[in-house]
Structure 1
Amino acid sequence: MPKLIKLKVKPRKADVINPCVPELTAMLGCWAVSHDLKNTGECAQAAKNLAECMKTSSGSRKVAKSTINYHLARLGKGLMR
């Protein structure tokens, strides 16, 4: 039986979750249609909605760390005997 030195799993890349995507899409769509890049006319409300969303949403959210490597290392110790 071959000896296992280390067992490890490569972590998945975390999905980026941005809660303000609809507001950003609305503002960019407004810009594309009306060419109002200064947000003075038609796009002012869309810009306010985006700014409010960005202000209220927290920028950093902690993602729970996977414990799979811990458990593999723990099981690997038993296999090496």
Structure 2
Amino acid sequence: MVHIANVKVRPTKLTRPSPCKVELVSMLGCWAATGDVLSADASRCKEVADALFKCMRTTPVHPKPQRPAINYHLSKLQRKVK
């Protein structure tokens, strides 16, 4: 008989869509092009920052997905098998 110390199942990782990814990449690109993240001159990346701010304000918040309970049930089964 084979003895397994710990029985666990790793769930597949689902990729969640990033709703403001394009705006964030353009903001980082603007900062990289100007060479200053903490710029006092707000006119350099103002349009890009406004687009990112608008996207973050209008994007709905998705609830956290439920975790599967298979590891819980496997641990209960393992206790009964021992």
Q: TM-score, normalised by structure 2?
A: 0.55
Distance 1:70 1:62, change over 3 A: same
Q: Is the CA contact (8 Å cut-off) linking 1:9 and 1:69 kept in structure 2?
A: yes
Q: Percent identity?
A: 34
Distance (whole Å) between structure 2 residues aligned to residue 27 and residue 3 of structure 1 = 54
Q: TM-score, normalised by structure 1?
A: 0.56
- How far residue 15 of structure 1 moved from its aligned partner, in angstroms, is 6.9
Distance (whole Å) between structure 2 residues aligned to residue 67 and residue 10 of structure 1 = 10
Number of aligned positions between the proteins: 77
Other-structure match for 1:39:
42
Other-structure match for 1:63:
65
Deviations 1:39-81 (A, max 9, x none): 314x22211111112222345631221222133245443xx28
Runs of 4+ in 1 over 6 A off after TM superposition: none
